[in-house]
Amino acid sequence: MAQKRVLLLCGDYMEDYEAMVPFQALQAFGVSVDAVCPGKKAGDICRTAVQQSSGHQTNSESRGHNFAINATFDEIEFTKYDGLMLPGGRAPEYLALNEAVLDLVSKFSNSGKPIASICHGQLILAAAGLVKGRMCTAYPFVRPVLIAAGAHWVEPETLSTCVVDGNIITAPMYKGHPEYIRHFVKALGGTITGSDKRVLFLCGDFMEDYEVAVPFQSLQALGCHVDAVCPKKKAGDTCPTAVHDFEGDQTYSEKPGHDFTLTANFEGLDTSSYDALVIPGGRAPEYLALDKSVIAIVKEFMETKKPVASICHGQQILSAADVLKCLTKRGK
């Protein structure tokens, strides 16, 4: 795909994953992404929200990461962009009242450029009058607004459902990111072919939230089969994650992140069926590095010369597996 440039329209308390996953996934795929927010300039931050189902009648919410925007809203030149993305969360509630936002979104729509909107981001589309007669979906609570705005509501079969109607791509929430991102890349004129590759994620409680979710969903968007496992846990169990941020103290702060759902059983795992291994950081590696079965998995991947990607504190596991010395020797 020729170089494309995309605009990500941000606001305070947008959903944490729904900002960062497409932001970094698209960049990894070679797309330039500018993140902007009304009233803010490049280098400012937007606070994000971790939203998830916690057994109550509606979602729970806690503070997420501080998301750094990299462009200035007042300096946007619409003609330089090939597509627009609208994260969900609570930000769309107030962004939908901003005339400059509605004017910008309307320009993208009128030009036929692709617009991808997720969760509550569709509130902005409705406020701009862009959903009338269009098929779209959203988080179920947004349904009355979209119907009132004249949309042909598509009830999501699952929260991973995506709907494409012309240049508008909609999804209910971040669980649908892989398909959502694939549709957007296709709308930009690209093709994602990733693969029949199988990738294993070695997870643990309080691994860093972004460091597991961003690569996990990005690889799924490529078409890879991705499994997440954790010692003493099985498919369908969750690992709590940690939000790590530098907020002016001498070290990073920690806040609770999303609960990350595992996709495979650790017990009885056939590691030889995977082509690569990913080790997220956070605090999980501190205790996973003491687990002999974890160390055995890492050594197997290294000995068979399969790719191993480790980030942040994940290297504590590599060190415990005694595989860094040989890497140092190769480097010399």
Burial class (CB in 10 A: 0-12, 13-18, 19+), 79: exposed
What is the spatial distance between Cα 16 and Cα 239, in angstroms, rounded to a whole number? 17
What is the spatial distance between Cα 222 and Cα 313, in angstroms, rounded to a whole number? 26
Instruction: From 332, 274, 328, select the one nearest 301 (Cα to Cα).
Output: 274
Q: Which residues are designated catalytic?
A: 119-120, 312-313
3-state SS class at 110:
helix
Instruction: From 276, 325, 280, 285, select the one nearest 305 (Cα to Cα).
Output: 276
Region at 265 (left for phi over 0; alpha for psi -120 to 50; beta for the rest)? beta
Give, in order, the Cα–Cα distances in Å from 233 to each of 14, 53, 255, 275. Answer: 31, 20, 23, 22
Instruction: Determine what percent of the chain falls in helix, strand and coil, rounding each to the nearest 5.
Output: 35, 25, 40
Give the bridge partners for 163, in sequence order.
170
